[in-house]
Structure 1
């Protein structure tokens, strides 16, 4: 049998009436990193997630280790941006955070990122001129003068054919140049989150996936928070109570839902923005090359190389539906195909070229002046809402997860002494892979280790997040049966259950990764 309701309920019963220093709700990359850093600082931590670890926005992003250019090149007129110095200052702070995060990630876990050549076409009808692009990269460099190089170079119209993807760009007669710089992609953020989670566990943290907070309150005369926990999708099962001195609400797009479980009617803190991507194969000229340009709405469009294929995104639309089952609709896929063909017309992409799609909801910070939210990374202290020792994070992207974690550790330290001795976090990955012709090969030992030590509840958990095979061109279908059969003895799956898991994975791909 899988690690199902019975075993999970047993795990939760072991926590009943336990007290921790800090309870973290949400095990995406920010919750994972915060659990790791708090545990290292000596705090007793509980980390729970209503789904699998890193299965929200962490696993559904563009996977870019942004240098911060997008915060300067927003698609709006350069001179208009100068009329709002407050926003410009915020943008520059965000740029600096991105650049410093980029430096740290590339230097400490180089095996988890892949360098790419990123080109930005500059058109005569763009909002930005070539000199403004030069100025933007000079500003980026000033935010981190000794950091990881950007290797920026702008090719003139006479030399732009030195860029392999230039002949594929739209409107060659309007090209005033092509800017090229070095960017990095995460491979893959779910693994970084999992490594942080299990390093936190090594240092004493209690971590539980598929565990829902069904109750959250403070009792009269008791400053502690009382969290009622229950296995997800098991509403009839027993619930268990854990107390914590501080609650960190890092539930991503679900943060407002968790706030409301306290009984508070606080104003929304998060604006959920839906984005989709499509994956496809591109000509050989695109190998290790990406494109950063603008779609017909004046918003960024990325074309990114990943494991022998490319993916293109993204859309940005407000989303208020069921986040759990968010998928790319036919209309969105068609729009993304049309925008790809607008920016790279010679590709002539059709539905038949789509390998798979994915969709996610980005938990941005609510901003009354912007219906699409703000990218400001904000920690909300809910004391004024009548919720002392309750903090909510909004707007924390993948690349700044360690800086966010340290910021939250500082806030916890200012309120509470640590229970245990400080330790050193280990940022190195425990996951070993070999890459042969862009096909990830996973050893039997690695499958066994993930099944035994990393709390998967299904074959989908293994393939999508622990082994990363779901991101291959075939989405791991070729290796799915062998993975299931190796994991079966450890997870207690019968032959019939193996078949059930295989069918379930196929259904997952058909619904969540639809073409």
Structure 2
């Protein structure tokens, strides 16, 4: 109700109702205690507290609150405070260090086009562009895996994904369950692009590299469907091609 009301205030010309919800989830934020103050009014910022484990004992530095989007700032703050306690100075900083797919990411359209051109062999420019947008510069590793996969093909249910791409994710991203791929290694669940047919095709695509037999594939599909329906509001009759 809160989100739907907020959308109506910010985007009054766009009608949104519960029937359009394709996926739901919630998380737990570590808010510091503020006695009777309602959680909505508690700061989402972090703080660093200094103390002692016991009187005159080892120093204790505690991080309170915070969130993923401030992890670099909190880590720098913690390490600076720790270095100060140890009487040492910082010698290395990661403030300007790009990580993951952001490392070496093209800074402008000309650079992006040049990157796509360099990595188009074997997959084509259009596919290379899609993978760059999806994975950042890690797309080069995805492309290499696709080219080396003798059985790579576009999925019938998800033409913008391929079997080789999914197998790369399964092998390199510590995938244990079908839900890992659908919810945490891709945006498929988040954007409502799920159906029984998609469950089956994705599971069958990664089964060879994960060592799943037919029985395991079936159990993964059933388990994921039950989990998504019970915890995330997925409906088997929902349109699998709702745009993000």
- Using the size of structure 2 for normalisation, the TM-score is 0.56
Equivalent residue for 1:359? 26
Mapped to 1, the partners of 2:46 and 2:199 lie a distance apart of: 38
Uncovered stretches (5+) of structure 2, i.e. residues with no partner: 103-129, 135-157, 235-244
How far is 1:394 from its partner? 3.0
Q: Are residue 339 (structure 1) and residue 18 (structure 2) matched?
A: no
From 70, 78, 90, give the equivalent of 1:400: 70
* 1:380-391 map, 5 Å: 380-381=49-50, 383-384=52-53, 388=58, 391=61
* 1:360-375 map, 5 Å: 360-368=27-35, 370-372=37-39, 373-375=42-44
1:267-297: CA deviation from partner (whole Å, max 9, x where unpaired) = xxxxxxxxxxxxxxxxxxxxxxxxxxxxxxx
Q: Are residue 503 (structure 1) and residue 222 (structure 2) matched?
A: yes
Q: Are residue 409 (structure 1) and residue 75 (structure 2) matched?
A: no
Distance 1:350 1:454, change over 3 A: closer
Equivalent residue for 1:427? 99
Mapped to 1, the partners of 2:53 and 2:32 lie a distance apart of: 18
Distance 1:480 1:434, change over 3 A: farther
Distance 1:374 1:454, change over 3 A: same
SS at match of 2:27: strand
- Using the size of structure 1 for normalisation, the TM-score is 0.29
How far is 1:510 from its partner? 0.7
Mapped to 2, the partners of 1:423 and 1:345 lie a distance apart of: 45
Q: Which has the higher helix share?
A: 2
Equivalent residue for 1:450? 169
Q: Which has the higher strand share?
A: 1
From 472, 479, 493, give the equivalent of 2:191: 472
Mapped to 1, the partners of 2:200 and 2:87 lie a distance apart of: 49
Mapped to 2, the partners of 1:446 and 1:382 lie a distance apart of: 49
Mapped to 2, the partners of 1:461 and 1:487 lie a distance apart of: 12
Mapped to 1, the partners of 2:50 and 2:187 lie a distance apart of: 36
Q: Which has the higher contact order (CA 8 A, sep 6+)?
A: 1
How far is 1:497 from its partner? 0.5
Distance 1:368 1:483, change over 3 A: same
1:403-446: CA deviation from partner (whole Å, max 9, x where unpaired) = 1222223244446699xx979865131894667xxx89333333
Q: Are residue 378 (structure 1) and residue 47 (structure 2) matched?
A: yes
Mapped to 1, the partners of 2:64 and 2:159 lie a distance apart of: 34
Mapped to 1, the partners of 2:38 and 2:67 lie a distance apart of: 19
Mapped to 1, the partners of 2:74 and 2:7 lie a distance apart of: 38
Distance 1:346 1:491, change over 3 A: same
How far is 1:500 from its partner? 0.8
Cα root mean square deviation, aligned: 3.9
Mapped to 1, the partners of 2:160 and 2:44 lie a distance apart of: 37
SS at match of 1:374: coil
